[in-house]
Structures are given as structure tokens and as C-alpha cells.
Amino acid sequence: MSSVQTPVAPAFDGSARSVGADAVQLTGVRKCYDEFVAVSDLTLTIDSGGIYGLLGPNGAGKTSTIRMLMGITVPDAGQITVFGQPLGRAHMDQFGYLPEERGLYKKMKVLDHLVFLGQLKGLTSTEATTRAKAWCERFEISSWVGKKIEELSKGMQQKVQFIAAILHDPRLIIMDEPFTGLDPANAVVLKDVLLEMAKSGKTILLSTHRMDQVERLCQSICLINHGRAVLEGDLNQIKAGYGRHNVQIKYDGDAHFLQEKRLVQSFNDYGNYVEVRLAPEANSQELLRLASSHARLDRFEVMEPSLEEIFIDVVGKSNA
């Protein structure tokens, strides 16, 4: 655990709400810009506590959805409720937002900037100062607090932006591609902070293209395409629903067994290993026997489909 003083969640009536109650509920939400439909009839539920992944190809409507949730734009139709109440300005102080396109005042000093944004979220200036210093310590940018934003590297600015999003200890944290621009070491620090917050009962909405992150961090996901939810729910259940049709094989020798159309629907050669999608009704054990008769096997593993595969599959189907 870190040495950072974990700020206490702000007291709401019913703060003892059980984890699992809805943090965010979108019902039939629609947003159009002229003829262009950014979000159409989107319905999704984000449970309180944990990390929720919002996925979708470019232009699917992720950012439009987030902007409505943040009250920056207003839906044309449908309802948004937050913590059981219709979304209103009063909720803004309970939200933390890291937009995809980062923005800070270039001429402001780091600490001044953090305090300014903290005050906008209702912190007092002393409170904001103490917290900002603690977080800067944790992200190892303490020596930069007196510098102007423009003097910082991209990665450091990113950290400042992240601190600004969580400084006021929000109940709902919305992160749009939080890991871009961070080196692996800092990405780990950020991931740890996100997990800690999720464990302490915060709700985190993670919008990203990075399937591997979602797979590792999120409990539930929503995949949207053309402004609609095409897949939503618990990540493990979704994966289980897709069945175990994938096999990872590391082999040496004759690769002819991959051409067996009766067993192999498709395969993807990664060089070190090959990922095989079994044909419907095919038996993985039959493939094992066939493969071992042709080549020397180092590994043969039946796997759940990766989220990336599900993503490509579902998006492909919904585009068709």
C-alpha cells in the first residue's frame, strides 16, 4: 500500500449503500448532431464499485456518451440517473473526469492549477493544497509543483491531469484512455491507484481501445457500436458465453494439421505460437491428437476467447 492518505469518501445520505447498487443508469439515451446520430437508444447500467469498461470502435459514440454523463451536452431523448437520482449539476462534484484530449492552462503552476481545479469541485484551498501535494508525492512529481505546466513533459502533464481528476475524491471516476502517454512504470502506478479506488468502493468508468487493459482491470463492460450497446454485462459471463473454442499451440515441425477444415475454422499465426479457432462441433482433443502426430508440441492450451476477438467478432456482426 502507498503512503498516500486515502481521502475519505464524501458523506452522502445512504453512503452505506451496498456495493452492487447502480451508480449510473442510462435508459434509451439518444444524441444527434444534425443528421448524424452519435448515440441512439443506449441503455446500460454501471454497478457501484469496481471498474467498468466502455469499449467501441472509433466514432462509436463513447465520447458523446461520456459528455452527456458529464453534463457537457444534454441528451435529446432518454434518461440518465446517477446514484439513483436524475443527473443534475449537483452531481458534478462527485464526478472526476479525465478527458481523452487533455487540457491544462499552460502558464499556470502545477500546484496552483491543481488547487484551482480542486476548488471548482468544492474543496477548500487548504484541503486542495494538502491533497495535491500528497498525490504529487505519490506520482513522484513533487519537485515540479512550482513549475509551470508548459515546462512539464507530456507524461508529467498526464499525471497532473490524472491527479486533478481524483483530487476531490469523487464517487464516480470517468477515465478516457488514461494510460496513453505513460511509460510502463507510471502506467503501473496509475493502475494501482485505479484498483485501490475501485476496492474502496469507487465506481470507475474506463473508456479505451486497449482490450488487454480492459481484460485485466474491468469486471463489467459495455461494447458500443454505431451509438448502441451491442454487448453488455459481466466480462467473465460474456467470455463464458462465447465458449472455449480457442486453442493456443506452440509447436515445432509440420504445420499441416492447421489445414484440417473439419477441425480448424481459422488460425492466426503469431510466430512464436499459433492461435486456432476451432470449427463448430469440433473436438479440441481430436485436434491435439492430429497435431501431436504431425509436430512436436511445446504447449497446447484450450482458452477462452480474448476480448479482442469478441470485439472484432461483435463489431463485425453489428456492422454487417
Partner 1 sequence: MRNTWVILKREYLERVRTRTFLVLTLLAPAFMTALMILPAQLATMGEKPEHIVIVASTQQFGNNIRQQLLAEPLIGEESEYDAAKSKSEDQYTIDVDTTATESERAVLRDKVTRHEIDGFLWLTDGAIAAHSVAWDGQEKAGSREKAWISEAVNRVVQQQELGKKGLTAEQSAEMLQPIKVETFRIENGRETKSAGSGRFMEIIVMVMLIYVAVLLYGISVMRSVLEEKTSRIIEVLLSSASSTELMTGKLLGVGAVGLTQIVVWTVMAGVIALPSLAAQPNFSELQLSPLVMVSFVLYFLLGYLLYSTMYAAIGAITTTEQEGQQLQFIIVIPLVLSVFMLSPVIRTPDSAAVVWMSMIPFFSPIVMYARIVVQTPPLWQIGLSLVLMVGTIAGLVVLCARIYRMGVLIHGKRANLPEIMKWLKYAKA
Q: Are 179 and 142 in contact (CB under 8 A)?
A: no
Neighbouring CB atoms inside 10 A of 299's CB total 10
- Candidate ranges 96-104, 224-232, 245-253, 301-309; the one touching partner 1 (CB under 8 A): 96-104
Query: Residue 206 CB, nearest distance to partner 1 (Å)?
Result: 16
Q: State which of residues 10, 21, 33, 270 lies at the interface with partner 1 (CB under 8 A).
A: 33
Q: What are phi and psi of 70, to 5 degrees?
A: -85, 0
The reply to whether 306 sits near partner 1 by the rule CB under 8 A is no
Q: How many residues bind partner 1 (CB under 8 A)?
A: 30
Q: Are 58 and 207 in contact (CB under 8 A)?
A: no
Nearest to 171 by CA among 48, 26, 22, 45: 48
The reply to whether 187 sits near partner 1 by the rule CB under 8 A is no
**Binding map of partner 1 across residues 146-185, x = CB under 8 A, - = no contact:** ---------------x--x---------------------
**Judged by CB, which is closer to partner 1: 104, or 249?**
104
Residues 104-143 that bind partner 1 (CB under 8 A): 104-108, 116-117, 119-122
Q: Are 141 and 110 in contact (CB under 8 A)?
A: yes
**Judged by CB, which is closer to partner 1: 123, or 315?**
123
Query: If you count them, how many residues does the chain have?
Result: 320
Q: In what order do the strands lie in the sheet with 246-253?
A: 264-269, 274-278, 246-253, 295-303
Give contact residues for partner 1 (rule: CB under 8 A): 33-34, 67, 70-74, 89, 92-93, 95, 97, 99, 101-108, 116-117, 119-122, 161, 164
